Amino acid sequence: MPLHTPSDSTLDVAGELLSMLRESTTEPRPDIQLEALTLAVAADLPVLLWGEPGIGKTAALTQLAETLDLPLTTVIASVHEPSDFAGLPVVGDDPAEQGVPMAPPDWAVRLVRAGRGLLFLDELSTAPPAVQAALLRLVLERRIGALRLPSEVRIVAAANPRASAADGWELSPPLANRFVHLRWTHDHDVVVRGLGGTWPRATLPRLDPERLPQAVEYARRAVCGLLAVRPKLVHQLPNGEARRGGPWPSPRSWEMSLCLIAFATAAGSSREVISLLVRGTVGDGPGLELLAGLDRMDLPDPETLLADPAGAALPVRGDLRQAALDGVVAAVGARPEKARWDAAWTLLARAVETGAPDLVVVPATTLAALRREEWDVPPAIERLAGAVSMSRRADEAAALVASTPIATSGAR
């Protein structure tokens, strides 16, 4: 039996314990942050994860690289010189004839040799302005010196807000506008389950080949439709320095939004995922306007609803249902016919049966005003008259209560 010193025995046991603590498994779990990240990676767009220190940004990237079977190369931007990203000049035998090539760093050479990988630029907000300027070409053109990274290399960066970054800097507007910005937060349940040994598993979104043409048309119609009526949103550089270091609208970021909407649509992603991606490219204000436009595009065609009012599927969300009913009444007003008018009443009656009756009050009032003298009152009106009348009385009572002064106690 070999002899072991007490210290060796302790270290061996400690190593075994550490190995057991590092053991973990993964499980499929819906996670809109991971889904948004993987969609942006699939779309080959640079992603910047914003989050407080210790929130799990690096761990998420490590796990993503393992899941996608991509070799991970981590580069701490703040500890490098600008020449590490722009390339180091190498003087040859005859510089006047051959020029002075820019030699790339070793990590870039390894990525090119591998042909694929995930380049992780960590601590981006601690990189000084000179280094940020050198990163511009790497992030946009995938070039380091005279070397071009393969198309199978994806770029993801991480940064802490300036208030919590060590010697932090605001991102320069040109660099910030090259990224999809995702706010990274922790999920309590995920953390607890992960510390117990089971972490969520990131997977590439499944793109439906049959939906690709429709996804491209849908994305182009959404972005172009908004910018056609809101031309000032095409390029809008924020005023504050801090906001310029985040997402803001430009032709480049609108192109990224269009791409991400197409990918998310082809993958069947939820509205929450699309919201993260859109607001992460053009900012909250323009992003919310685009999302509102997407909601309007998702409304059912009024003519389809009028063609089968009894079996029509109305939106569940109240604001979308209201907009759909208003669209139907507007369609009847544009082409008033007895059959279409009757169908609209049938649809309003169905809306009362399947949703809040107060949403029917305004379209019912407008539809009633379209009646012509020779048109008989359809039976469907009787089915919703009570609900509409009750909703009106509730509104009147609420208005009366709001206008009545609160009684005060008498003078003593």
Per-residue tens of pLDDT for the chain, all 412 residues: 455 555 567 888 888 999 999 888 888 878 889 899 999 999 999 999 998 888 888 888 887 888 788 999 999 887 888 877 876 666 665 565 655 666 788 888 899 999 999 999 988 888 888 888 889 888 988 888 778 999 899 999 998 886 665 566 888 999 999 999 999 988 888 888 888 988 777 667 889 999 999 999 999 999 999 998 889 999 999 988 888 999 999 999 999 999 999 999 999 999 999 999 999 999 999 999 999 889 888 788 889 899 998 888 888 888 888 888 988 999 999 999 999 999 998 898 888 888 888 888 888 888 888 888 888 877 777 666 665 554 454 445 445 545 555 444 444 3
Identify the pLDDT of residue 409: 43
> Which structural domain range is residue 315 located in?
302-400
Residues 69 and 155 in one domain: yes
Structural domain contains residue 309 = yes
Structural domain contains residue 73 = yes
Q: Name the domain count of the chain.
A: 3
| Contact between 49 and 63 (Cβ < 8 Å) | no
Runs of H (alpha helix) within 43-183? 57-67, 83-86, 95-98, 106-114, 129-141, 173-176
Identify the pLDDT of residue 389: 55
User: What pTM was computed for the model?
Assistant: 0.75
What DSSP line would sit under 206-226, residue for residue? ---GGGHHHHHHHHHHHHHHH
Residues 242 and 228 in one domain: yes
Structural domain contains residue 252 = yes
Domain boundary pick from 147, 166, 201: 201
In terms of C-beta density within 10 A (0-12 exposed, 13-18 middle, 19 or more buried), how is residue 189 classed? exposed
Residues 312 and 372 in one domain: yes
Residues 254 and 332 in one domain: no
Domain boundary pick from 201, 233, 265: 201
Identify the pLDDT of residue 101: 67
Residues 168 and 231 in one domain: no
Cα angle, residue 24 at apex, residues 21 and 28 outer, rounded to 5°: 155
Structural domain contains residue 247 = yes
Identify the pLDDT of residue 390: 46
Looking up residue 179, the CATH number of its domain turns out to be 3.40.50.300
Residues 150 and 264 in one domain: no
Residues 46 and 166 in one domain: yes
Structural domain contains residue 7 = no
Residues 307 and 291 in one domain: no
